A and B are shown apart, each in its own frame.
Chain A
Amino acid sequence: MAATPSPPRKRPRLSAKHREWLSGYLFVLPDALGLLIFLGIPMAMSFVIALFRVDGFGGYQFIGLANYRQMLADPVFWQSTWVTLKYAVFLVPLTYVTGLGLALLVQRTNRYNSVVRLMYFAPHMVSLVVVALVWQFMVIDKIGIVSRFLSAIGLSGVSLLGNPDFALFTVVIVSVWFLMGYYMLIFLGGLQDIPKEYYEAARVDGAGPIARFWFITLPLLKPTSFFIILVSTVAATAGAQAFDIIYVMTQGGPSNSTSVLIIYVYQQAFGFGAFGYAAAIASTLVVFLMAFTVVFYAMTRGGRFTYE
């Protein structure tokens, strides 16, 4: 910053330095305040509300750690934790593989591929409620188009949403369908950053396509991969996409087989009015998210989103 040689005319009481300070604070104020009230305080408040029993009339009664004790003794909480883990363990590798696969398929920049990229990405533009409804319709037992396709290839009588053994997997597939185009884009960005010379050199040395993928693409995609795994893990554990799809398609059922933690939290809070208990469960997710944020921060060096 060049020091201003002449004092500012309009506000003679403030030095140039203080003028800059004041402007800085005022510029940041609306967003900082909003984020504090609508994100920061709610995060902290999870831990506070968790210490109360909240009745239907908004009365708060302090009960210490009773909600956390109830949580640890609640079989549905543990089941939801297990369902969340399963959802993440299926979803993260599947989005990774499909995202990378699609990106490799349309990596070359030409007009044909840019149309195909649009096709791959289009599901991500549709709202999750619509996504959930369309898939719910397609997997209706016996008469949905997917169910009919399955019976045509010999898998008749499979209830994709009605059977607790399949429902979560169905939800995972729908989530992957929605997410893979987005991860494809991130991978395309990562692939573009790999210098072409590496592939040239490998070609000269006689490396085939598999060797080139294994020894050049994959290692050089490491930052992108790490980023994607991190983000998709957070999305799988706490993302709105899991909530919307599951809320519309199964409401957590059948027999809690798709009840991920965020669905369970919502049901406790807005179904049964158990705000304190819901906050206790949510606060464990806040801890998890904060831990991930630290990793994320370290990785992107303060949100710079460049990998060099």
Chain B
Amino acid sequence: MSKRNKHIPVTKGQATTVRIIWMIVSGILGILILFPLLWMVSIAFRTSEQTFTSQLIAPDATLANFVHVFTEVPFLLYMWNSFFVSTMVTVIALFFHTMAGYALARLRFPGREFIFLAIFSTFLVSLPVIIVPLFVIVKSMGMLNSYAGLIIPAIFNAFGIFLLRQYYLSIPREIEEAALIDGASYWRIYLSIILPLSKPIMSALAILFFLTNWNSFLWPLTIASDPSLWMVQVGIANFSSQYAASWNYMMAASTVVAIPTLVLFIVFQKQIMDSLKTSGLK
């Protein structure tokens, strides 16, 4: 922070008052914004009689809702499906995207610009718009109601490739050139130089990819109608139509689904916020 010359005609006391008011306003706003999440957690611990009372912490709080969610509904299975699919997508996507990003940033080959442009053209394409043909394609590949159908189409997105490409453009060339002169193959350079150098951006991307897939709804909803393949978001959406009035159960389920992402977020807040901020596109 640079030192500021104070030319403002206010006293130090006034400035402090303004800052304190400012802090109070932004803090209250923060609590208001968080309120729906706090309310969700609050309801999750209530009996059904207490669901619509106004106090933030109801008397006779109970864990019964959570017990119900885990015993009456195959919630652990849904969570396992989500965990498995999200992890697979994240690992494979990081592997493919680092390869592509490295080649697009560093290697020279005819058609590179064209490939880059072609990848770019898929950038703003969103799933809801291509859901019908994508379903037709994935179904014709025999991946309806399978882990492959949940995982493979979720791997490919231009965002990760761009971010990695940009990262590699900023790495000095000298390191690879020395290895090249020693006769190392590009594969070898990728494995032993490029991948270790990409650790920071890869950890940020890994968190983002995992969260995105854990939270994704439309694709798992469309491709897996078999309840044993439901991912957790589909699980709670169906749960809600089944238990339409039992909001205490649903808020408990929602809490269980939201907790892993919120914990990841709090632990990796810096990486998540920095990578989103610099990327400018989710």
Contacts and interface: CB of A to CB of B under 8 A. Distances in A.
A240 B218 contact: yes
A168 interface: no
A64 interface: no
Contacts of B190: 27
A43 B107 contact: no
Interface string B86-119: 0000000000110110111001111010011111
A153 interface: no
Given A20-B107, A42-B137, A282 B132 contact: yes
Contact of B132 (A28, A34, A112, A279): A279
Interface in A280-308: 282, 285-286, 289-290, 292-293, 296-297, 302-305
Interface in A202-257: 203-204, 206, 227, 231, 234-235, 238-240, 242-244, 247-248
A145 interface: yes
A1 interface: yes
Contacts of B110: 21
B277 A43 contact: no
Contact of A282 (B36, B129, B250, B279): B129
A145 B247 CA distance: 13
A135 B261 CA distance: 18
Interface in B49-99: 52, 54, 96-97, 99
A38 interface: yes
B180 A2 contact: yes
A118 B269 contact: yes
A133 B250 contact: yes
Nearest to A31: B100
Contacts, number: 312
Contacts of B136: 45, 49, 275
A189 B280 contact: yes
Nearest to B160: A31
B121 to A, nearest CB: 6
Contacts of A49: 132-133, 136
Contact of A46 (B36, B132, B278): B132
Nearest to A180: B33
B47 interface: no
A234 B37 contact: no
B155 A34 contact: yes
Contacts of B30: 115-116, 119-120
Q: How large is the interface on B (under 10, 10 to 19, 20 to 34, 35 or more residues)?
A: 35 or more
A20 B122 contact: no
Given A137-B43, A269-B135, A270-B222, 14 more contacts: A21-B109, A32-B119, A43-B125, A143-B52, A177-B33, A188-B277, A196-B2, A203-B7, A231-B280, A239-B128, A247-B237, A275-B136, A282-B130, A297-B120
Nearest 8 Cβ contacts at the A-B interface: A119-B30, A24-B109, A27-B103, A127-B215, A45-B133, A262-B128, A34-B156, A23-B186
28 contacts: A23-B185, A25-B109, A27-B186, A31-B97, A32-B100, A34-B156, A39-B122, A39-B156, A40-B122, A43-B133, A105-B22, A115-B30, A123-B33, A127-B258, A129-B236, A129-B237, A185-B277, A189-B277, A189-B280, A200-B4, A200-B5, A240-B127, A242-B128, A275-B132, A279-B132, A279-B133, A293-B121, A293-B125
Interface of B: 1-2, 4-5, 7-8, 22-23, 25-27, 29-31, 33-34, 36-37, 39-40, 43, 52, 54, 96-97, 99-100, 102-104, 107-110, 112, 115-138, 152-153, 155-158, 161-162, 166, 177, 180-181, 183, 185-187, 190, 211, 214-218, 222, 233, 236-237, 240, 247, 250-251, 254, 257-258, 261-262, 264-266, 269, 272-273, 276-282
